[in-house]
Amino acid sequence: MSRDMFVFKAAVVGAGVMGGEIAQVIASADVPVQLKDVDRKFVDAGLAKAREVTQRQVAKLVEKGKISQEQADAQLEHTLGLITGTTSYDGFGDVDFVIEAVPEKMEIKHQVFADLDAATPGHAILASNTSGLSITEIGEITNRPDKVVGFHFFWPASYMRLVEIIEGDDTLPETAQAAATFAQQIRKVPVRAAECPGFVVNRILVSTASEIWRYQDETGASFEEIDKVVQEQTQMPMGPFRVADMSGLDTTVKVARDLHDAYGDRFYVHRAMEELVEQGNLGAKSGKGFYEHS
C-alpha cells in the first residue's frame, strides 16, 4: 500500500471492549468494515455496542437541531449497514487495512496475524491495537513485517481522538505514514510513538494510576471515595477504579504488570485488582469489578 492510497474497506478482529467501537468509528467515516470474533455472541455484542454509540451520536445531532429525526434514522441504518459481523475470514480478501483487537497475549496475537497474513491481499496493512506488546515480535509471524504497525486507540474509542502509531523494527516508514493517514480518514489524531512498553500515553497514565493504586492498597481507603475525589478535583470524567472497570480489569492488570516488569517499582500492580481478575470479575464486561454493572 503506498502512502497516499485510500482505504476502501477495513476489518477489525476482536469485537470486545475496543473492537465494536473501533468498527463503529470506521463505519462513521463511511468506510465498509468487517467485524470478526470467534463466536457469534461476541460479534453480536460488538454490533450492539456500535448501534448504541451511533444512536447516541445521531440523537445529539437531532437535539442540536442539526438534522431531523428522519435523517438520524437514515444515518443510523447507513452507518450500521457498513459493518458486517462475521466469525470467519470470508470477506477479508479485498480489505486494505485491518485492526487487530484481540486479548493482550502474544500467542493469540500471533495466531491472528498468521491467519490475517493468509486471508488478506498482500498490499493490506495489518495493524495492532496492542497496549504495549512488541510490534516487531507481532510482525515476525507474518511474511510482511514491513506492513505491520501499532495503531493504539484509547477507551472509549468512539470518543477519544488520539491514536498512537507505533513502528516496529521492520515497519516501513510508508506503512506508518499510511496508518497516520487512515487515522485522519476516520477522524482521529495520530501521534507517532516509539516502540517501548506503554508507548507514550499509558506510560504517563499508568504511572499516575500506580500511585493511587499503591495508596489504596496501603491505606485500605474506599475506592468509591478516591474515584469521587479524583473526578471532582481534577475534572476527569471518571476516577481510576471506574475507568479500570470500564476498560477491563484483565487488560488493566496486564498493562500494569508489563510496565512494572519493564520499568520497575515506579509502576505498581494493584493487589485488589489482581484478586478480582483471579475471581473472574473483569469489570463491566463480566458484570462485576470494583462496581456492579447491569
Q: Which residues contact 226 (CB under 8 A, 6 or more apart)?
A: 212, 215, 216, 239, 240, 241
Q: Can you name the residues that pair with 190 across neighbouring β-strands? A: 163
Answer yes or no whether residue 127 interacts with ligand NAD by CB under 6 A.
no
Residue from 147, 285, 289, 290 touching ligand NAD (CB under 6 A): that is 285
Answer yes or no whether residue 242 interacts with ligand NAD by CB under 6 A.
no
Residue from 1, 10, 13, 256 touching ligand NAD (CB under 6 A): that is 13
Residue 75 or 286: the one with the smaller Cβ distance to ligand NAD is 286
Q: Which residues contact 245 (CB under 8 A, 6 or more apart)?
A: 283, 284, 289, 290, 291, 293
Answer yes or no whether residue 151 interacts with ligand NAD by CB under 6 A.
no
Answer yes or no whether residue 258 interacts with ligand NAD by CB under 6 A.
no
Of the candidates 78, 110, 123, 152, the residue annotated as catalytic is 152
Residue from 1, 26, 29, 37 touching ligand NAD (CB under 6 A): that is 37
SS3 at position 267: coil
Convert 111-151 into a string of H (helix), E (strand) and C (coil): HHHHHHHHHCCCCCEEEECCCCCCHHHHHHCCCCHHHEEEE
b (16+ CB within 10 A) / e for 102-130: bebeeeebeebbebbbebbeeebbbbbbb
Asked if 50 and 21 count as a contact pair (C-beta separation under 8 A), the reply is: yes
CB of 189 to ligand NAD, least distance (A): 15
Residue 145 or 248: the one with the smaller Cβ distance to ligand NAD is 248
Q: Which residue is nearest to ligand NAD (CB)?
A: 16
CA pair distance 270, 170, nearest whole angstrom: 35
Answer yes or no whether residue 36 interacts with ligand NAD by CB under 6 A.
yes
* Site for ligand NAD, residues 174 to 233, rule: CB under 6 A: none
Interface segment toward ligand NAD; rule CB under 6 A; list 26-34, 66-74, 124-132, 143-151:
124-132
Answer yes or no whether residue 130 interacts with ligand NAD by CB under 6 A.
yes
* Active-site residue flag, 152: yes
Question: Which set of grid coordinates corresponds to residue 56?
Answer: 447516541
Instruction: Indicate which residues carry an active-site annotation.
Output: 152
